[in-house]
Structure 1
Amino acid sequence: MKTTISKESILKSSILFFTITAFILSALLFTSCSDTESVVVSDDEELIEKIESADKTTIEEASLPSATSSVLNGDLADSFVETVQLATELGYQVALVSDNLSFEETKTDVFFSLQGRQLNSTSSKRGKHRSKCFEFVYPIDLIMPDDSSITLNSADDWSLKKDWYAANPDATERPELVYPVDVTLEDDTVQTLLDSDELASVRSSCKKGKDRRKCFKLVLPVSFTMEDGTVIEVTERADYKLLREWKKANPDSTVKPAKIFPLDIEYRDGTIETIADETAYEAAKDSCSI
């Protein structure tokens, strides 16, 4: 008996064959890519350890592969390169110092392959260097070495600082954060930090695992005398921006705003105390550390 195979049957069989083949190839390709990605992450940690332990040569930042710029000018735009070291036939170890004081640690190392790809570390110890102590409440202001100011309206605007240094390659001084600043802590409370000492105290509490809130806050309204004799009254938290605006207009000022006494402070437990002068104010701060 002669079997007749139609063109339509052949066409359907061909379509089915190519469909199944394409599916199998796609599955194999996906599995291969997934395996490759997991291997890369694993190999990255091993390569980082080899770079760390290897003998290295200090080189200029300009000698880094061009591929590193997307990282250094992107997620790490808040930091500047302190040193670059090359481990021959392995990769690069780049020491960074951050101008963003919201991190628990301002110094960190990042690693790149010889081609300039950032190496991904799975070490929790390395990740801690980029752990946030708090979040800035934007906008914040930076005074640059030429006394100009840059306003950062979001975390993405740290790239503006990077752009300034690119346009001023001879500048060696770092930017100055303009106080007071508001910060949001881990428990979502907002604290106003009046100066670098208060910011340092909060960051120290982060490292020690202590309560990050200030020991006490000023009860508003409170007034400040500026270096030129100007008196600024702060009646609500938003008025602290008046102090920042004065500092931006007077970038050479080195004297902190002087609080006008008497004033009231409120401790964490809600207790109110009247402070007569700067000596009593410093004593109240000292009592917090006991």
Structure 2
Amino acid sequence: MIGAVSAPEQTPARWTYLMDMDGVLVHEDHLVPGADDFLAELQSTGTPFVVLTNNSIRTPRDLCARLAATGLDVPEEAIWTSALATAAFLHTQRPGGSAYVVGESGLTTALHDVGYVLTDREPDYVVLGETRTYSFTAITTAIRLVERGARFIATNPDTTGPSRDGSLPATGAVAALISAATGQQPYYVGKPNALMMRSALRKIGAHSESTLMIGDRMDTDVLSGLEAGLQTILVLTGISTAESVERFPYRPTLVLDSVADLVGRTATPFG
């Protein structure tokens, strides 16, 4: 355990946990040691939690199966993706609208579930998400629709994603291509937009004053948690390092080696 950076002003009677998935619970489809014990403790004590991910490729059901394959028991309803957050946002902005989607089943399913029509004929929105099969034809269609007045939305700003062979271009990189061609910047719904945190809180009826955000990245997880008014925990099993914390103008409430350090102290993580 690295130790506390700062302490919360008050200790609530019960914490709610929001946590990133990759780099916190799993790393390239391998269990982070102790993550299973951490989740088991939350479940045995009835502590509310939500697993968050900026990746919009998979549905919560798919992610549930992926986590189960690593040995983690996470209910489908405890998973919140940038695709779900994007669909929820669009439903509040323009209920029953239409969208042209560049993405995969996690995003298209989420939009269908809120009543959106997916079309390339005068859609209200162009919605860009993660995919492993970006099509030049689809990107060209997106560019032309934005030029004709479709509003530009992207699930998350991550420019690269990990793979066993190295970095992969991600949503933010493709969004930059569309922006360069159209002159229009997208509205990003996922982290570090605090909107994703707030939509996750609404999903489980939690309050920011009694909620912790656990993440492995200072620039997305910790930032979005801070901007949503949450206490934040940085774990060092993913992207950010203990040294990199000092380069940011903001700090997490606590820095830990991993979520394994929370086992036995989920009720009083700052004690």
Which category describes the TM-score, using the shorter chain as reference length? under 0.3
Structure with the greater alpha carbon radius of gyration: 1
TM-score, length basis structure 2: 0.25
Q: TM-score, normalised by structure 1?
A: 0.24
**Structure with more strand by fraction:** 1
User: 1 or 2 for the larger relative contact order (CA 8 Å, sep ≥6)?
Assistant: 2
